[in-house]
Chains A and B, each alone.
Chain A
Amino acid sequence: MAKEERRKERLDRGIKARTDGLYAIQSWREVGYLVAPRAGLILGLLILPLILPGLYWQRVLALAGVYALLALSFDFLAERVGLVCIGGAFVIGVGGYIAGGLNYYFALSPALTIPIATFGGALICTLLWLPCLPLRGIYFAVVTFMFPFLTQSIILAGGLLGSTEGLSPVAGFPNIWVGIYLIMVIVLLSIFGLRRLCGEDIGIVFAGVKDNDQAVLASGINITRVKVYALFIATAMGCFGGAFIAHFSGFAGLSLFAVDFSIMPIAACIMGGPGTMAGPVLGAFILAPLSELLRGLGQLRVVLYCAVLVGFILFKPEGLLNWAARKYHQFEHWVKV
């Protein structure tokens, strides 16, 4: 009985309690309070390439940027539209082969191939997955997961697009800074663009499809069309990533269909905080370099992803960013009961 009971009390900070989402700003201090996390993200991503030692880590960072785009598009589709799509490898492959092929066969410059691969690739992915869109939950996930293996087999069996050799050389960027800052700026634009989109009316409709698609149908909206819009946006981001890899590595080959591109976005999303947009990006920028550090382990890296997944699901299911946001928006202290 002598044991004294304590519990943690959480109180919202003034600005949060007062307005909850619709911020009514009262002072410069509060402006700073709101701007700081966003500015931190922007400056962090822009300064990071400058402070990294050497070419190797800069390349790792660029690759992490591609993973961040994939994690972002996974998060958007899964948490905001309710489509669990784990076909990241397919999207990367389509984007990479389009950009690589256009450059290899027709000698188009990256300034042309990347936009063509982004939107053309998104169109191809969306059209191919269109028949699967009425599938829900795990079934859509399984179908999308299967696609990269299927395409790999077709390329190998048909001896298409350079077969096992791949397409090489593919023109690179003028220098590494162009490449790195291209991907960083696109990641930032994608985060803020998607967040804005989800606040718009079409984003509300996406959320409606996720929460209750039958009610959206009863509202006179063709849910397949809504899902197509979302899928196009998400696959465009992935196809950009694929095209970027093709030009950044000077090579478009079967490695673009690596299963890592499908799996790691999920781990990054769960680690960073599902539904937060910035969280999965953060997760990707932690997991991708970590996975490079453990390159010596080879295929055992998959074990790492799984350990991260299981660990976060068990101990921090809200993810890093949701946890950090709570700490940021609330006071916490122990009180006697």
Chain B
Amino acid sequence: MEEEKEPIIKVRNISKTFGGVKALNNVSFDLLEGEVMGVIGPNGSGKTTLVNTITGFQKPDSGEVFFRDVKLTGLPPYKIADLGVARTFQIVRPYLSLKSYKNLIVPLWSPRARRFAGSRGGDRDAVAIDLLEEVGFERDAYVPYKLASALPLGYLKRLELARCLALRPEVIICDEVFSGLSMSEIASMVPLVENLRIKGASIIMVEHRLRELFRVADKVIMLDFGEKIAEGEPEEVMQDPRVKRAYLGEEIEL
């Protein structure tokens, strides 16, 4: 018997326009508890705008987002993060002048992380180094102490993820964590996401890397020109002719 899962994030009829461009048009979906949901779509289809409207970085023109019963729309980004909805940025946003592990002191200092800090709350440096190890940094005397500006992109993407995890989030929204990485780097990051899923996090993954996404996703929605054109299990969505058309263009007779 599979137990009924409650939706943890409810998105209802979100629309957002920039000038004359409809970035999002009446998008609705549910993210169930413990589910990994993929969001796919061609460039400019509104994926990042969707992430921004859920996390409060942009206000939708209409529509609402709920986290359980709390309405997120209208709250400032830091309050949404404080409730437990954490995000990564597609273009990484590290604190370049700080050492890698010091980057995590910022989220660990946040009110939410301090509420969760147990007996080790005072030793944020140690917690930060553990977190870095969790996302795949080598635990040595070198890499965690490097300046963030000296890290390659692969590590910065992991740092983004670690910054989310420091908040002990209930929902993680990953905005293209695989983009710009080499095949081997992606291969080593997929298990991280699988681990998070095993631990029960609910995850929204915005991704271009379909092969890797479909390994971890329970459900996929597809955006095109701001509209949700498909929703379902990965295999179903891939067979959908509208999806093929959006990604590959029209079939032509030769």
Decide: A220 and B113 in contact? CB cutoff 8 A: yes
In the complex, chain B residues 3-51 whose Cβ is within 8 Å of any chain A Cβ: none
- Stretch touching chain B among A104-112, A208-216, A319-327: A208-216
Contact of A223 with B106 in the complex, beta carbons under 8 Å: no
Chain B 76-115 interface residues, beta-carbon cutoff 8 Å to A: 76-79, 81-82, 86-87, 89, 93-98, 102-103, 105-113
Contact status of A208 and B81, CB under 8 A, knowing A218-B86, A219-B167: no
Q: Which of B55, B96, B124 contacts A218 (CB 8 A)?
A: B55
Which of A29-37, A197-205, A282-290 lies at the interface with chain B?
A: A197-205
Chain A, Cβ-Cβ closest to B169: A220
For A205, list chain B residues within 8 Å (CB): 105-106, 109
| A223 CB, min distance to chain B CBs, angstroms | 7
- A219 to B124 CA separation, bound complex (whole angstroms): 15
- Are B106 and A216 interface neighbours, CB within 8 A? yes
State in angstroms the CA–CA spacing of A208 and B104 once bound together. 10
Chain B hits for A204, CB < 8 A: 98, 102, 105-106, 109
**Shortest distance from the beta carbon of A224 to any chain B beta carbon, whole Å:** 9
| B98 contacts across to A, CB distance below 8 A | 204, 207-208, 211
- Output the least CB separation between A188 and chain B (Å): 26
Instruction: Select the residue from B87, B107, B109 with max chain A CB neighbours within 10 A.
Output: B109
CB distance from B92 to the nearest CB of A (A): 9
CB closest residue in chain A, given B93: A215
With contacts A207-B98, A211-B97 taken as known, whether A218 is within 8 angstroms of B105 at the C-beta atoms is no
Whether B106 contacts A219 by the Cβ 8 Å rule is yes
| Contact among A201, A212, A215 with B105 in the assembled complex (CB-CB below 8 Å) | A201
Cβ of B163 and Cβ of A219 under 8 Å apart? Answer: yes
CB of B106 within 8 A of CB of A221, answer yes
Q: Number of B interface residues at 8 Å Cβ cutoff, please give it.
A: 32
The reply to whether the CB of A222 lies closer than 8 angstroms to some CB of chain B is yes
B94 interface neighbour in A202, A215, A218, Cβ under 8 Å = A215
Interface assignment of A217: CB less than 8 Å from any CB of chain B: yes
Q: Is the CB–CB distance between A222 and B96 below 8 Å? A: no
Contacts of A214 in B (CB 8 A): 57, 77, 89, 93
Check if B107 sits within 8 Å of A219, measured CB to CB: yes
Say yes or no for B213: interface residue by CB 8 A criterion. no
Q: How far is the CA of A218 from the CA of B83 in the complex (A)?
A: 11
Is B95 touching A218 in the complex (CB atoms < 8 A)?
A: no
**One of B78, B82, B108 near A223 (C-beta < 8 A):** B78
When chains A and B are docked, how far (Å) is the Cα of A221 from the Cα of B94?
15
The answer to whether residues A217 and B77 also contact, given A201-B109, A208-B106 and a CB cut-off of 8 A, is: yes
Whole-angstrom CA separation of A202 from B112 in the bound complex: 15
- Contact indicator per residue, chain B 49-64, by CB within 8 Å of chain A (1) or not (0): 0000001010000000
Task: Identify which of B89, B93, B166 gathers the most chain A CB atoms within 10 Å of its CB.
Answer: B93
Q: Is the CB of A219 within 8 A of B166?
A: yes
Q: In the complex, how many angstroms separate the beta carbon of A86 from the nearest chain B beta carbon?
A: 22
Question: Within 8 Å CB of B87, what residues of A?
Answer: 218
- Interface 1/0 per residue, A280-303 and B, CB below 8 Å: 000000000000000000000000
**Distance from A220 Cβ to chain B, minimum over Cβ atoms (Å):** 4
CA distance A208 to B108 in the complex (A): 12
- What's the Cα separation between A204 and B57 when bound, in Å? 23
Residue of A nearest to B99 (CB): A21
Say whether, besides A214-B89, A215-B89, A220 and B78 are in contact (CB < 8 Å). yes
Chain B residues with CB under 8 A of A218: 55, 57, 77-78, 81, 86-87, 89, 93, 163
Minimum CB–CB distance for A75 against chain B, Å? 15
- The interface bits of chain B over 155-167 (1 if a CB of A lies within 8 angstroms of the residue's CB, else 0) are 0000000010011
- What is B's interface to A at a CB cutoff of 8 Å? 55, 57, 76-79, 81-82, 86-87, 89, 93-98, 102-103, 105-113, 124, 163, 166-167
A sample of 17 inter-chain contacts (CB < 8 A) reads A201-B105, A201-B109, A207-B95, A208-B98, A211-B94, A211-B95, A211-B97, A212-B95, A214-B77, A214-B89, A215-B95, A218-B77, A218-B163, A219-B81, A219-B106, A220-B112, A221-B106
